Structure 1
Amino acid sequence: MRWLLFLPLLILLALFALSNMQEVQLRLWPFDLAWAAPLGVAVLVLSGFGFVLGAIIAWAAALPARRRAREVTQAAKLLEAELAVLKAREAQARHEGTPVPMQITLPAAR
């Protein structure tokens, strides 16, 4: 399924690179650096660099959400364990015929 989306894009990028073979010089202003490359290759390299930079920024922006999701998952596991203990107590009390004491413990506030 992904290939159906990426294949036309790859063909378009290859055609762009092959159609723009004029030599260009890319310079970095404060330094005396110059890079001579075909226009298509230069645009593709700079676009790839921009894509990787954007991906890194998006990954870093999602770090807090992943941390919160991990905390919520841990809290859910603790609650599931507590529920399993309460169910076991209730089943044991029903088996013995004694009333089940209700005891609720709330987590400490942050």
Structure 2
Amino acid sequence: MRWLLFLPLLILLALFALSNMQEVQLRLWPFDLAWATPVGVGVLLLSGIGFLLGATLAWAAGLPARRRAREMESAAKLLEAELAVMKARQAQAQHEGAPAPMQLTLPAAR
């Protein structure tokens, strides 16, 4: 399904690069360096660099959410383990005929 969206864009970018073959000099101020390249290649290269920069920023912005998700997952595993212990105690107490002791321990808040 992604290829149906990606393929027309890829064809469009290739046509753009092939249609714009005039030489242009790319310079970066204050350096005295120049790079002579076709317009299409220069635009595609700068677009790629911009994409990578944006992807890196989006990845970095998601770091706190991924950290919180890992913490919540570990807390959920701890609670599931406690629930399994409590269910085992309750089953054992019912098997012995005595009422099950209800004991709840919560993890310390941060």
Q: Same fold (TM over 0.5)?
A: yes
Deviation (angstroms), 1:108: 1.8
Aligned to 1:101: 101
One-letter amino acid of the counterpart of residue 87, structure 1: K
Aligned to 2:64: 64
RMSD value, Cα = 0.7
Aligned to 1:43: 43
Give SS of 1:48's match: helix
Q: How many residues align?
A: 110
One-letter amino acid of the counterpart of residue 40, structure 1: G
Scaled by the length of structure 2, the TM-score of the pair is: 0.97
Aligned to 2:53: 53
Gaps of 5+ in 1: none
Question: Separation in 1 of the partners of 2:70 and 2:56?
Answer: 21
Identity of aligned residues (%): 84
One-letter amino acid of the counterpart of residue 79, structure 2: L
Aligned to 1:3: 3
One-letter amino acid of the counterpart of residue 38, structure 1: P
Q: Deviations over 1:47-104 (max 9, x none)?
A: 0000001111111111110000000000000000000000000000011000111111
Aligned to 1:23: 23
Give SS of 1:102's match: coil
Gaps of 5+ in 2: none
One-letter amino acid of the counterpart of residue 8, structure 2: P
Aligned to 1:88: 88
Aligned structure 1 segments of 4 or more residues deviating by more than 3 angstroms: none
